[in-house]
Structure formats: C-alpha cells, structure tokens
Amino acid sequence: MLTQRLVLTGDETDDAPLIQQAAAIIRAGGLVAFPTETVYGLGADALNSEAVRRIFLAKERPAWDPLIVHVDTPEAIYRYTRDHSVLTEQLIRAFMPGPLTLVLPKREMISEVVTAGRDTVAIRMPSHPVARALIHYSGTPIAAPSANKFGRPSPTTADHVLHDLNGEIEAVLDAGQTPMGVESTIVDLTTHPPTLLRPGGVPKEALETILGEVRVLVGQYEEGEALPAPGLSARHYAPQAKLFLCAPTPEAFYGTLKDTLSRYAFVGAMRPEGWHTPPEPRLRIFEWGAWGDWATLANRLFLGLRALEKQQVHAIVCPLPPEEGLARALHDRLQRAAHD
C-alpha cells in the first residue's frame, strides 16, 4: 500500500480539502495518522470494528491494550459513555478540549474491539485544529492510539509516523511537530477516588483542584503480569539504544556520561542547555532545552530519543525530571523507556 503524505500549511482554506480527503478514508474504513496537541494518533472509525482491528495489525499492538476514542464535542462524550457525575462535567469544562482522557463506563455502540473487552472506554476531545476538523468531517468518533509501532517512542512528527508505519496505512496528515510532545493524562472516573492511570499533558495537581484526592498507581508492572490497567507495562516508549537515567545535576550527568562512554562505543546525550559533556568524538548530543522548562523538554523528548537512535548510538544518557507538574509525565515516560 502507498501511504499518502498530506502536507498541511496551517491555512484553513488550503487545508480543508486535504482533511476532507482524509475524512473520506476514515469513513471508508481506512487508517489515517493525524496530529493532536500531544502526539500523532493512528485513527480509524471507532464504530467500525473491522477498521479498528486494522489499527492493532498495523501497530503490532496486543489485543488486550484498548484504544482512546477521540470526539469533538462534550455531547459526544455523553453519547458514548454513561454513569457521569458532576465531576465529569467539571473536568470537561476545565480541561477540554485538551490533553485529558477520561475512562468511563461505555455504551453498547462502542465495540469490545476498541475497549479490549472492557466495559469502560477511554475518551478524549483533542484541541488540535486538524484533529478537530478530521473528527468533524468524518462524522464519526475516531479510535486512535499513538501512531508508532507498539512499545516504541510516540511520534511527534509525520516523519516519525512514516518511519514506523509507511506502507501500512492509507495516509498521514502532516502538520509538523505536535505542540506538547507527550501523551494525554488518563484518569479513571470509575473508582473512588478517581485513579490517575497515566500522567500527561494535564498535571495531576491541576486535576486535584477539581477532584480533590487522586489515587496514583504505584510500582511497575511486568508484561504478562495482571495489570491494574492496560498499557501500564514497565517497558514502553523505548528507543533501541539502552537508556541510562541520572540525577538531574550537571555533575551527575557528566559522571554518568564518562562511565557510559567507558562501556559503550557510541553514546547519546539528552543535554540540557548549558550543561557540560566530556570532549569525546564517540558522543552524539541532542540539545534538549533549558532544565526546568518542562513544556520545551516535553515537546522535544521523543524527538530527541528518536534522533539519537537514528545516529545508531548504543546507549543514551538522560537526566530524570522530578515527579511534579508536567515533569511527572517526562519522569514516567523515561522510567518506562529505561526499564529492561
């Protein structure tokens, strides 16, 4: 199959026909990768089980890992889910459209292919104008995981999507780099208190202003272990090189790099602005951004891991951000990527 790259300009009038072309592919049961404010998604008509099955095949994703359904209005959230409380409404008002996914009991029209046999569905309303237009023109909710092969770093550019999925999907809508660069926050509203299943673009602290207490799942889970929620396996988002995390100080970074260079032939560094690295031709450097500027570091995290991997380093050294605010999402993704 030939994968079409539909390049958008950001001009609504120019872009509309291309997004309509992509919507026609979705309606016909095809697969289209598209930008959201977090990462690129791999979309199919959520109400067409055959189309949704193709997502799992293209991604090589195990059937037990359910998908997020993307909609463009609050009404659609209510249409496909049930048992809402006042909290649902407050979360929608505060954070949507935006990088928040709610897990709620599903209604019948959402098939078990989407939810991997569960009676809950993960649903979100992206804020990216291209994602919103695609859902609107498709006239159907769009099921979409991140548009990478299973277990790989999420794609933040159309090039990343094509690297993983060229020839296996009908089209990719190319709108350049996605603004946030890490995935949505997932909160399960079927538990009391609600459970944070994945830290992401909306910080836990912001959720707590509405939800009060939020339960956090602790510990890491091995593949095949009974997971409290799907998609929590310890190893995920991983580049091909071995990832070493270090304490977030320039001294620890320098020391870990020296040590790693003594054990691996080619080493990559996710370097914060102004931090020093050993003078060494076997070192490949990705200029990550200013430490503490979590928005920029999130935007460039998967970009950096993929860029270093492309330079065929055997190991990557990266300082580990703290578990607070938006940095919590970076901490989570890096810990999973570093797990053997």
Contact call for residue 102 and ligand TXA (CB under 6 A): no
We find the least distance from the C-beta atom of residue 240 to ligand TXA, in angstroms, to be: 19
Number of residues that bind ligand TXA (CB under 6 A): 26
Contact call for residue 48 and ligand TXA (CB under 6 A): no
Contact call for residue 267 and ligand TXA (CB under 6 A): no
Q: Looking at beta carbons only, is 50 or 119 nearer to ligand TXA?
A: 119
Under rule CB under 6 A, which residues in 315-334 are in contact with ligand TXA? none
The whole-angstrom separation of Cα 89 and Cα 78 is 10
We find the least distance from the C-beta atom of residue 253 to ligand TXA, in angstroms, to be: 29
ω into 179 cis (within 30 of 0): no
Contact call for residue 120 and ligand TXA (CB under 6 A): yes
The whole-angstrom separation of Cα 90 and Cα 49 is 31
The whole-angstrom separation of Cα 31 and Cα 74 is 24
Contact call for residue 22 and ligand TXA (CB under 6 A): no
Query: Shortest Cβ contact with Mg ion: which residue?
Result: 146
Instruction: Give the residue, chosen from 197, 303, 317, 327, that forms a contact with ligand TXA under the rule CB under 6 A.
Output: 197
Q: Looking at beta carbons only, is 30 or 145 nearer to Mg ion?
A: 145
Under rule CB under 6 A, which residues in 58-87 are in contact with ligand TXA? 65-68
Find which of ligand TXA, Mg ion, none residue 229 binds, CB within 5 to 8 Å per kind.
ligand TXA
Q: Looking at beta carbons only, is 34 or 264 nearer to ligand TXA?
A: 34
Q: Looking at beta carbons only, is 6 or 182 nearer to ligand TXA?
A: 182
Instruction: Give the residue, chosen from 87, 217, 229, 234, that forms a contact with ligand TXA under the rule CB under 6 A.
Output: 229
Q: Fill in the per-residue mask, 120 to 159: x = in contact with Mg ion (CB under 5 A), - = not in contact.
A: --------------------------x-------------
Contact call for residue 151 and ligand TXA (CB under 6 A): no
Residues contributing to the site for Mg ion (CB under 5 A): 146
Residues contributing to the site for ligand TXA (CB under 6 A): 36, 38-39, 41, 65-68, 99, 101, 103, 115, 118, 120-122, 144-146, 183-184, 186, 197, 229-231
